[in-house]
């Protein structure tokens, strides 16, 4: 009796869903960071000489590319399992490796430049505040008011005696009467918490990426050394 050899069983990989969710989470975090009110305000106000605008845009595009790599790697791994394709498995491994090669430098940059984002953002606020204090630009006064409202803070500690006038014109009324939070401290605290969360997220992504490379490697060797791969679609005599 001749029977057709069965294909390799099509097993669903729950891990692929996790990789897709991770990719979507990274894309969401990048989008929220890029288009968030506080980040957008500072980016629009910053000068070309300030590093914040470059960091702001670079982080967004890096996050989108990283999320696309993880989602594509998950889809290729699923297709490789279904079709028993070594080529698709290798492509999935390449996508995981590409994401890994991007995550490691990003994590190292955050570790070696731990305060660069915070410092550049506070430099932007310092510039706008001093412009308003010198009354050189009425447009800057509107920008400073928007920053105060977004961060719910009021002015900064300064040795100059005319800072109260600036605060009365640009701070929310509730912050002026209640002696609101110093803006430099508020910006620093806000960014520190956000960047710590991003750094933790990078660590999780690195762990999942390494796991994905191991998983696709195991899948490639399983397909390569499986006898069913060479007997697929052939008829044998029992």
The burial of 112, by beta-carbon neighbours within 10 Å (0-12 exposed, 13-18 middle, 19 or more buried), is given as exposed
- Is residue 237 pLDDT above 50, yes or no? no
> Which residue would you say has higher pLDDT here, 114 or 87?
87
pLDDT in tens, 177-193: 555 578 888 999 999 99
Element (H, E) at 201: helix 183-225
pLDDT in tens, 34-77: 999 999 999 988 887 788 989 999 999 999 999 999 999 999 98
- Do residues 56 and 43 touch, judged by C-beta distance below 8 A? yes
Question: Domain coordinates of the chain in residue numbers?
Answer: 1-115+140-153+187-237
Distance of CA 238 to the CA centre of its chain: 57
Q: Give the chain's length.
A: 238
pLDDT in tens, 200-218: 999 999 999 999 999 888 8
Within 10 A of 212 (CB to CB), how many other CB atoms are there? 26
Q: What whole-number percentage of the chain has pLDDT above 70?
A: 82
pLDDT in tens, 96-111: 999 999 999 999 998 8
């Amino acid at each position: 009796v001749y029977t057709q050899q069965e294909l390799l069983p099509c097993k669903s990989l729950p891990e692929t869903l996790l990789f897709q969710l991770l990719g979507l989470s990274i894309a969401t975090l990048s989008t929220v960071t890029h288009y968030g009110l506080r980040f957008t305000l500072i980016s629009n106000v910053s000068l070309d000489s300030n590093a914040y605008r470059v960091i702001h845009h670079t982080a967004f595009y890096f996050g989108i590319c990283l999320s696309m790599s993880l989602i594509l790697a998950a889809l290729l791994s699923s297709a490789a399992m279904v079709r028993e394709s070594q080529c698709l498995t290798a492509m999935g491994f390449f996508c995981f490796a590409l994401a890994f090669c991007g995550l490691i430098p990003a994590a190292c940059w955050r570790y070696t430049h731990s305060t660069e984002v915070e410092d550049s953002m506070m430099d932007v606020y310092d510039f706008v505040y001093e412009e308003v204090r010198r009354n050189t630009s009425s447009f800057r006064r509107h920008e400073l008011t928007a920053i105060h409202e977004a961060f719910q803070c009021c002015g900064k500690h300064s040795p100059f005696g005319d800072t109260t006038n600036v605060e009365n014109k640009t701070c929310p009324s509730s912050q002026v009467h209640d002696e609101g939070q110093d803006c430099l401290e508020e910006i620093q605290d806000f960014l520190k918490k956000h960047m710590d969360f991003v750094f933790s997220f990078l660590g999780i992504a690195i762990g999942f990426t390494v796991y994905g490379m191991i998983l696709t490697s195991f899948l490639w060797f399983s397909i390569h050394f499986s006898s069913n791969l060479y007997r697929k679609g052939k008829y044998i005599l029992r």
